[in-house]
Amino acid sequence: MAKKILAVLSNFGYWGVELTGPMLKLEAAGYELVFVTPKGQRPVALPPSYDTDYFDPPLGCRVTTTADAAEVIAVKDSPRLEAPLNLSSWFPERPYYSKPDFLRELEAYHVKLRELAEELDEYAGLLLVGGSGPIVDMVNNQRVHDLILGFFKQDKPIAAICYGVACLPMARDFNERRSIIRGKHVTGHCIEYDYHDGTGFIGTDFNLGPPPYCLEYVLTDAVGPEGQYHGNFGKPTSVIVDYPFITARSLQCSHEFGEQFVNVLERGVRRYGW
């Protein structure tokens, strides 16, 4: 089996430990991470994610440990993140209906996706890293959706944490429009964890305020009555495995999230946390 993991990071800021937590567990198990960003620019860690004095308002405490900050700092400026793959030049853009040659272009788009499926053969799984940045350039990014669907069709593990989880209910076949997490058990930001204000991004000059959607509601609707959203509010961590999905609520879950990703890859775990 391939020993590579494709890791998607936002160009508008990722939360440090939500990368380093799973990354270090995967690397210890012999996996190599290959990084990709929506525009091919170097990903940047959100400053609060390596600031041990940062106070998280919803949780009412400091959330970045000294050990996590050191690991994030060691990675964020390293050459490893220097030249990520460019998703916008790797995966095609689906054409508008208004295009003059729409049908031919749509056919070409689907042909290209079939060709790209072979390139995904070299990866054992997909990692969607969280933070506020994904809200801007990952969650409603059609190329990210097609990447997720590529792994889904190959029945490979798809791991997502924090707002990386928000990509999953949006990734739908263009014709069927059906949620790939319908009937599944998942976790993600519960409403108690949502900010009243302060959602920030790298490379912008605005404060969005609160998250533009309640992820708990989005996930609850997407899994439908056959599945279940687990917020696990009041528990220190929330990590759910319902194969092929590994989902984690937020930064506190990063290390456990990585452990379960490895367990899925190496030990065939198909269910955990519910």
Dump pLDDT digits (tens) for 151-169: 999 999 999 999 999 999 9
Residue 100: C-alpha distances to residues 3, 93, 95, 104, 132 (Å):
43, 16, 10, 9, 37
Does pLDDT of 264 surpass 90?
Answer: yes
**Across residues 117-146, what is the average pLDDT?**
97
Q: Note whether 39 and 11 are within 8 A (CB).
A: yes
- Residue 35 in contact with residue 85, Cβ under 8 Å? yes
pLDDT at res. 199? 85
Where residue 208 falls among pLDDT bands split at 50, 70, 90?
A: confident
Give the Cα-Cα-Cα angle 156, 157, 161 (nearest 5 degrees): 150
Task: Identify the residue with better confidence: 1 or 244.
Answer: 244
What CATH number is associated with residue 138? 3.40.50.880
Q: What pLDDT, on the 0 to 100 scale, is given for residue 1?
A: 57
Q: What is the pLDDT of residue 206?
A: 81
Total tally of structural domains belonging to the chain? 1
Lowest mean pLDDT among 173-177, 230-234, 252-256: 173-177
Amino acid 42: pLDDT:
97
pLDDT digits (tens, 9 = 90+) for 75-128: 999 999 999 999 999 999 999 999 999 999 999 999 999 999 999 999 999 999
What H or E segment, with its residue span, contains residue 70?
Answer: helix 66-76
- pLDDT per position as a tens digit, 39-77: 999 999 999 999 999 999 999 999 999 999 999 999 999
pLDDT tens-digit map of 2-25: 799 999 999 999 999 999 999 999
CA distance 141 to 88: 10
The one-letter amino acid code at 67 reads: A
Residue 243 pLDDT > 90:
yes
Q: How many CB atoms lie within 10 A of CB 229?
A: 23
| Helix (H) or strand (E) run with residue 245 in it | strand 245-248
Neighbours of 71 (CB within 10 A): 20
Span 176-195, average pLDDT: 96
pLDDT at 205: 84
Q: 228: domain range?
A: 4-272
Q: pTM for the whole thing?
A: 0.97
Tell me the percentage of the chain whose pLDDT exceeds 90: 94
pLDDT at 56: 93
In DSSP terms, 34 is beta-bridged to 6
d(CA 99, CA 270): 43
